[in-house]
Structure formats: structure tokens, C-alpha cells
Amino acid sequence: MDGYTLTHKVPSRKDFIDTADFDQSEILDIITTSRTVREFIKSGEYLNSLFHKSLAMVFEQKSTRTRVSFEVAMEQLGGHALNLAPGAIQLGGHETIEDTAQVLGRMCDLVMSRVDRHESIEALAKYSRVPVINGMSDRVHPTQGIGDMITIFDYWPTGKEAKDIKVVFVGDATQVCNTLCEMTTKMGMNFVHYGPANHKITDEWLEIGRKNNEKYGGTCIWSEDPEVLKGADFIYTDVWYGLYDKETPKEVYMKDFYPKYQVNDELMAATGNPNCKFMHCLPANRNEEVTDSVLDGPNSVAFDEAENRLTAQRGLVLYFGRVAQATLDYIKQQKEGK
């Protein structure tokens, strides 16, 4: 792969709802676009690929990384993003998601939304005539998954192939865990969910991971046995109570996860790999699921990972805006001085 030539010149689907909807080569196209554009922009160049294009950002929940990264990505690519935060539009009042989707699709070129229920992002996609990107639902977090895979590529363990790489997600099987399972196995890596039985990744996702393994290699398991930490190249965690678990008291979660599943120096040492990297989608509840010593420690790549949300969003809006290949052609010409 030369960083400039995509296997899929245009997306196979209008919308980016779930990474599981795309095969490995198409996910690699999005990652390639993201990384090549990052290098170009970091070298001080600029792009106008989305000049006069608008992205509607519909949020049913709070967001820092998703909101800022999409808005900055659109601005850096010559376009514009509208932040439609909770309470800012008629959605949630008496206007339906279907009608909102139709209206946004007639005024904007792209829609990105963070929704309470996965069915809502599917409805937005169905009724919108323009591409819809899932900025997180209660099922998956696909834009996070692209940023995470870019981060894993950036910190690829020296001399290893995908089949030798082990990614362990520790703690609660959140939607970030589901997408990480899907993405790592799609890349032919070994995925482990290490967490308590009452918060384990569902059999549906383990099956999706295993189907990926059959096609691309690697393994996919859930375990409560700390032995699975051994040999990990990446330890990943997420909050123990998040946006979708507002009703559950914190004490209940703490009893389920603490201290066994807290990512601390002892847990990192249990990998036996001094180069094992620590990842977190953020925001973190510091000193609950991860200690300060790990999150701020030398092996943490969590803030590079946050920055890679921007890397990923540029690739996603270019790819689903159907200008990714043209953008890569332009970058190549500029680099060759043509």
C-alpha cells in the first residue's frame, strides 16, 4: 500500500454506522486516507476538499472529543460543521428523527450523530439522503474504532505481524469494547475481553470476532483469568459506569470491578511486556478504572489516541464525502511537485 491508492474509490455503503459493515480492505482505505492527510496537514499544507460542504452534528449526549474533532476536521478541509447539541433543535421535542433526517439531508452534505439508541442512528441513515456517520450509539463507537486502529498502527510493536499482536480490553464490555473486538479481529489480531462475567462481551460480538478470525487470522476470547494479560501489546480500558448506565449506582459498579479490573502498575506489570501500551477512549474516571500512574505514565498513548480522533474524522468525512481518492491524488501531486 503506497498511501495514495485506495482499493475502494468510493464507499460500498452510503453510511458509516458500524465497522462490521465493511471489509478489511475498506477499513484500510479509511485508515490510509486518515494517515496520509494527517502527514500532509502536519507538514504545514492545507486542503480544500470539502469547500462549501456542511456537516450537521446531532448530539443526544455530551461530547468533547467527537464534537471537537469533527468540527476541526471540517474546518481544516475547507468545510463547515454545525453543532446541534441537545435542546438546540426540534429533535427530542415533537419532531421525529425521521423528519429531522429528511430536513438535514436536504440542507447539509453529511450528518454525524451521537444517539441514545442504536435504532436512532439507523433511522437517521434510512431517512437522510446524505451519508450519516455514527458518532456513538449504545451498541458501537465506530469513529473511535478508526482512531484506535490508527493509534495501534502508530505504535505497532517492532518486528511483529498482526497475528502476533495481542490487544486486551479490561473491564466493562462497553460499545468501545464491542468495536475494538470487531476492529482488531478484522485486522487479524488477537483480542481478549478480560472482565467479570456479569459485564462480559456478548456472545454475538465474540462470534463476530471469530468470524473475522476465520477470514483474517488471530483469536477472540473472553476471560476472567488474569493469565490472559500475559504477552499483551496493548491494554485498553473504558469507564465502569458511563453515558448508558446512569441508573446504576457507582457503588454497584465498584464492587463488580474494583480492585481486580483496575488498570494500575501491577496490572500493567502482569503483561510481562515492558513495552505494552495503555489505551483509553477517554473521558476517564481517574483512579477508578485506571490510575494516574498508568494514564500519565510513559506507556500511555491515550492522548495520542484522543488526537487520532481528529486524524480519523478527516479520513471519514473525506471518504464518505466521496472525495478521498481525489484528495490523495492531489496530495501525491503536491509532494511530487507537479
CB nearer to ligand CP: give 145 or 218. Answer: 145
Range 174-213, binding ligand CP (CB under 6 A):
none
Q: How far apart are CA 281 and CA 177, in angstroms?
A: 10
Sign of the four-CA dihedral 210, 212, 216, 220: negative
Q: How far apart are CA 327 and CA 35, in angstroms?
A: 12
**Distance in Å, CB of 67 to ligand CP, minimum:** 6
Residues paired with 55 in a beta bridge: 81, 110
**Distance in Å, CB of 284 to ligand CP, minimum:** 10
CB nearer to ligand CP: give 145 or 209. Answer: 145
**Distance in Å, CB of 31 to ligand CP, minimum:** 18
Joined together, the cell numbers standing for residue 262 give 483496575
CB nearer to ligand CP: give 104 or 302. Answer: 302
With CB under 6 A as the rule, give the number of residues binding ligand CP.
9
CB nearer to ligand CP: give 47 or 74. Answer: 74
**Distance in Å, CB of 62 to ligand CP, minimum:** 7
Q: How far apart are CA 214 and CA 320, in angstroms?
A: 28
Residue span 263-282 as binding mask against ligand CP, x where in contact by CB under 6 A, dash where not:
------------------xx
Count of all residues that appear for the chain in the document: 338
Range 51-110, binding ligand CP (CB under 6 A):
63-66
CB nearer to ligand CP: give 65 or 314. Answer: 65
CB nearer to ligand CP: give 265 or 296. Answer: 296
**Distance in Å, CB of 86 to ligand CP, minimum:** 13
Range 136-165, binding ligand CP (CB under 6 A):
136, 144
CB nearer to ligand CP: give 114 or 188. Answer: 114
Range 206-245, binding ligand CP (CB under 6 A):
none
Q: Under DSSP, is residue 70 helix (H, G, I), strand (E, B) or coil? A: helix
* Cβ neighbours for 88, distance < 8 A, ≥ 6 positions apart: none
**Distance in Å, CB of 236 to ligand CP, minimum:** 12
Specify the pairing of strand 234-237 against strand 190-194. unpaired
Question: Please, what is the Cα angle at 114 between 110 and 118, to 5 degrees?
Answer: 105
**Distance in Å, CB of 276 to ligand CP, minimum:** 21
CB nearer to ligand CP: give 16 or 127. Answer: 16
**Distance in Å, CB of 184 to ligand CP, minimum:** 17
* Cβ neighbours for 12, distance < 8 A, ≥ 6 positions apart: 22, 26
Q: How far apart are CA 246 and CA 264, in angstroms?
A: 25
Report the number of secondary-structure helices (H) and strands (E) in the chain: 12, 9
Residues paired with 111 in a beta bridge: 56, 132
Ordered alpha helix ranges (H), 108-216: 118-127, 142-154, 175-186, 203-216
Asked if 311 interacts with ligand CP (CB under 6 A), we say no
Sites of contact with ligand CP (CB under 6 A): 63-66, 136, 144, 281-283
